[in-house]
A and B are shown apart, each in its own frame.
Chain A
Amino acid sequence: DQQVKQNSPSLSVQEGRISILNCDYTNSMFDYFLWYKKYPAEGPTFLISISSIKDKNEDGRFTVFLNKSAKHLSLHIVPSQPGDSAVYFCAAASSNDYKLSFGAGTTVTVRA
């Protein structure tokens, strides 16, 4: 059973608007969360992370929010740009071993 779930397989957004990607997890031992971005024919690349001691982390246009009580995190991209069109994977780990568990991914398409 997947411990990290991304229930939206795809998201289409207009350039300049906000993209919101959601992720839920079930394992209460997870205390570190990451987002990866993947272009076709390339490996995933690290985007942003957050530890459970925080509820928000911001890096430029990317912000990750963590709601521990709901076991939910989200990634906000503002403003969305055409180069943001990619597959985004949510991942989670326990700081005991840092073995990442990944969600199924959300394909984001930014329309001009």
Chain B
Amino acid sequence: NAGVTQTPKFQVLKTGQSMTLQCAQDMNHNSMYWYRQDPGMGLRLIYYSASEGTTDKGEVPNGYNVSRLNKREFSLRLESAAPSQTSVYFCASNRQPSNTGELFFGEGSRLTVL
């Protein structure tokens, strides 16, 4: 059982380049999330999708776009990468409504912007 799968695991970009982080889950969850993790900041929510066809901004959405392609897949796009977007990105999913709030995370994608 794969759970939440993210690609790529590592990426180096130059300032101004664009890229898309892919995420897929096989747990039939309706809600999906993108977080970034930075030292001393914990995990901060970038965007989320409560259900297929909907997306909403989280705490730090600037510089990012998302697409909920179908129930399984939720992608995060950087149109013009900046050094401030150097981070580890985590995709997560869960079933809502939930009586636990528990999220299931992917292994992360480490992005470096030069």
Residues on A with C-beta less than 8 A from B90 are 43-44
Asked whether, in the complex, the Cβ of A100 is within 8 Å of the Cβ of B41, the reply is no
Asked whether, in the complex, the Cβ of A98 is within 8 Å of the Cβ of B98, the reply is yes
Residues on A with C-beta less than 8 A from B98 are 98
Considering the chains assembled together, what is the distance between the CA atoms of A41 and B103 in angstroms? 18
Residues 93 to 112 of chain A near chain B (Cβ within 8 Å): 93, 95, 98-105
**Closest B residue, CB atoms, query A98:** B101
**Closest A residue, CB atoms, query B97:** A98
Asked whether, in the complex, the Cβ of B108 is within 8 Å of the Cβ of A41, the reply is yes
By size class, the interface of chain B is: 20 to 34
Chain A facing B: main interface SS: loop
Residues on B with C-beta less than 8 A from A93 are 101
Residues on B with C-beta less than 8 A from A49 are 100-102
Asked whether, in the complex, the Cβ of A98 is within 8 Å of the Cβ of B107, the reply is no
B35, B42, B92, B94: the one contacting A4 at CB < 8 Å is B42
Given contacts A103-B42, A104-B40, A104-B42, contact A46 B102 (CB under 8 A): yes
Residues on A with C-beta less than 8 A from B35 are 102
Given contacts A102-B43, A102-B44, contact A42 B101 (CB under 8 A): no
Interface string of B26-55 (1 = CB under 8 A from A): 000000000100001111110010000000
